[in-house]
Amino acid sequence: MADAELTLRYGINPHQAPARIYRDGPLPTRVRNGSPGYINLLDALNSWQLVCELRQVLDLPAAASFKHVSPAGAAVGLPMDERAQAAYLVDDLELSPLATAYARARSADRVSSFGDWVALSDPMDVETARLIRREVSDGVIAPGFAPEALEILKKKQGGNYRVVEIDPGYRASEIERRDVFGITFEQRRNGYVPALDALGEAVTARKELPADARRDLAVAQIALKYTQSNSTCLAVDGQVIGMGAGQQSRIHCTRLAASKADLWWLRQHPAVAELRFKPKTGRTERDNAIDQFLRDDLTPTEISMWEELFETPPRHLSAEEKRAWLDRLQGVSMGSDAFIPFRDNIDRAATSGVRYVAQPGGSVRDEDVIHACDEYGMVMIFTGVRLFHH
């Protein structure tokens, strides 16, 4: 019989002990390896809900890369082209659809995904385990594990890699509670799931919403539902490419999400594929070096430090070369967890290829935002549903 309680090493910080998770009745989770902590399990339970909803809505294997209770990336298992495989550092692997979903989720923001928590919608196969084994990751949650996949993971982190299995049939109660400062908060769980045929009404001059855009808006909306607010998300080709999470200002959310999307696309520039690293340069060092290589504001000292990792000094891209490459990124979808208050969000999003927008609507400046979308030829829908998450 499953346990009703799991004792944890400590809470959110090491000095916050004792700590545990428990419920009235058996826990839907089982620890298969390692010793997950408080934050690990917050990531696990939030990310599990995200990938379940992606699976439900899009009928494809889904994965998420979670850090500090927000997704660094999320994706479904659509095929990748050779350029993406090289940029994601998986061109040497055979990937199942589930492994492909994780490779895409992990590579939305490879630097932020360092030490991530992995969520998988489907039982883990060997191909996914082999991919996870070589990434810096803290743990994984999935509805099951192939025996060989579990053995692979048990050897990670000196045997301490955290592996959590969850009952895929578990359903939480409609009412959820939490204690803050000795006071219990209670609310109805957020049961809204963005259905492909009910995302909302187009309010712009353009109304056409292609199937790919509808899929990507669903990806963005589902990811936002499990992201610390305020948040804005950019998605394309069935994956998150930029998440702006936890900002106090909507424009800061959009700038952050769009800048991450720009970096995601720039990492696929041919000049990046031509970089040659010194032997034995680790994957993490390569990820960090590529991000630094693509920055515009490096000091001479920083340039010298990062160039030590390359066999020959790289040719840095000019601002004009970057802009020309970024202009090739088109058809991006953007979701916002609350209404967009000013057109500056649309102006910034347009420079990162956004052509489809989903937001709740309800701002006193809705007409200004709609007008901005019309200027760029965007399609914007009003969902009527706010997706704050705290």
- CA separation for the pair 230, 246 (Å, rounded): 5
Contacts by residues 140-148 (CB-CB < 8 Å, ≥ 24 positions apart):
140/164, 141/29, 141/44, 141/45, 141/47, 141/48, 141/117, 141/165, 141/166, 142/166, 143/167, 143/168, 144/168, 145/32
Which string of DSSP letters, residue by residue, matches 228-273? PSSEEEEEETTEEEEEEES-SSHHHHHHHHHHHHHHHHHTTSHHHH
Least Cα distance to 362 among 383, 334, 389 occurs for 383
**Tokens 């539902």 label which residue?**
225
Angle at 41 between CA 32 and CA 216, to 5 degrees: 105
H/E element holding 55?
Answer: helix 38-58
Cα maximum dimension of the chain: 63
Active site residue 269: no
Q: Please, is 88 exposed, middle or buried when counting C-beta atoms within 10 Å of its C-beta (0-12, 13-18, 19+)? A: buried
User: What one-character DSSP code corresponds to residue 277?
Assistant: B
The yes-or-no answer on residue 225 being catalytic is no
The two structure tokens encoding residue 371? 């007008």
The active-site residue out of 33, 40, 46, 230 is: 230
The DSSP code sequence of 157-215 is GGGT-EEEEE-TT----SEEEEEETTEEEEEE-------TT-S-EE-SS-----HHHHH
Separation of alpha carbons 335 and 359, rounded Å: 6
Using an 8 Å Cβ cutoff, are 196 and 210 in contact? no
Among candidate residues 67, 156, 225, 322, the one labeled active-site is: 67
Q: In the annotation, is 322 catalytic?
A: no
State the amino acid at position 300 in one-letter form.
P
Of 247, 283, 272, the residue nearest 115 (C-alpha): 283
Asked whether 98 and 61 are in contact (CB, 8 A), the reply is yes
Is 190 assigned a catalytic role? no
Query: Would you please indicate which residues are annotated as catalytic (active-site) residues?
Result: 67-68, 230, 390
